[in-house]
A = this chain, B = another copy of it.
Amino acid sequence: MNIEAYFKITYGLYVVSSINGKKLNGFISNTVFQVTSEPAQIAIVCSKDNYTSSIILASNVFAISALRKETRADIIGTFGFRSGKEFDKFGSYSYKIGKTGTPILLDDVIAWFECEVVQMLDMGTHLLFIGKLIDSDLIDATADPLTYAWYRDVKKGKAPKNAPTYIDPEKLKQQAASATDKYYCTACGHIYDPAIGDPDSGIAAGTKFQDIPDNWVCPVCGAQKSDFAKID
């Protein structure tokens, strides 16, 4: 068994959203797949611990917004690493209300789908919802979608703990023999690798973690430098 084989499964990254009463919520998902063509049905997977799961269970509708490759880090941070129980994730973003009443994120979105739940499968830690397609639109035909491989390999982003693809860093460490001086964000799991630096924030490749200015923040979720811990 080699758990790094997982890295060769290809995924996009999406915001899956729903509504219950006046409460809008959404989360970053990589598990969005068309499962039939006639009728058009799309499968999504949600952790039972995910607040949006309870909202979809109550409303029976959801929307999927396909993110563009250049999606801003704050969208990943807000929808991927914060809980909507405490605040309104849609508060500072543009969205529209679809035919089913569900909110559809539009910022950094290149296509969207709106579905009604027709089947559900309990898989233990996660639920799989099959949605019948109610409406869809293509917003930007030429833009490339954000893929999980790009987010992981280029942006050095990590899966949230609730993602089906989350891998316990301890397991990877057990498997990888090499010691490193990398640091990880205790808020979102983002890894700072000195070999790569954080060029988007002006931190050149080769910069040791201790040499990063103290006002530097996690490029994924905005946590402080002091929220990072060394990977032993």
Contacts and interface: CB of A to CB of B under 8 A. Distances in A.
Contacts of A9: 12, 32-34, 66, 111, 145
Interface stretch (A117-125, A186-194, A211-219): A117-125
A123 B119 contact: yes
Interface in A158-188: 163-168
B11 A33 contact: yes
Interface string A8-37: 111110000000000000000011111111
Contacts of A12: 8-10
B10 A138 contact: no
Interface stretch (A38-46, A81-89, A223-231): A38-46
Determine how many copies of this chain the complex contains.
2
Contact of A37 (B119, B125, B133): B125
A135 interface: yes
B145 A37 contact: no
A39 B124 contact: yes
B123 A5 contact: no
A141 interface: yes
A5 B138 CA distance: 4
A232 interface: no
Contacts of A35: 31, 45, 123, 126, 128, 164
A121 B119 contact: yes
A4 interface: yes
Interface in A82-121: 110-113, 119, 121
Nearest to A64: B9
A204 B113 CA distance: 38
Contact of A130 (B1, B113, B121): B121
A14 to B, nearest CB: 8
Nearest to A109: B8
A45 B34 CA distance: 9
21 contacts: A2-B138, A4-B111, A4-B141, A5-B113, A8-B12, A8-B110, A8-B138, A9-B145, A10-B10, A10-B12, A33-B164, A34-B165, A35-B45, A35-B164, A36-B126, A37-B163, A37-B168, A38-B125, A43-B128, A144-B149, A147-B147
The 4 closest A-B pairs by CB, nearest first: A10-B12, A8-B111, A5-B111, A8-B66
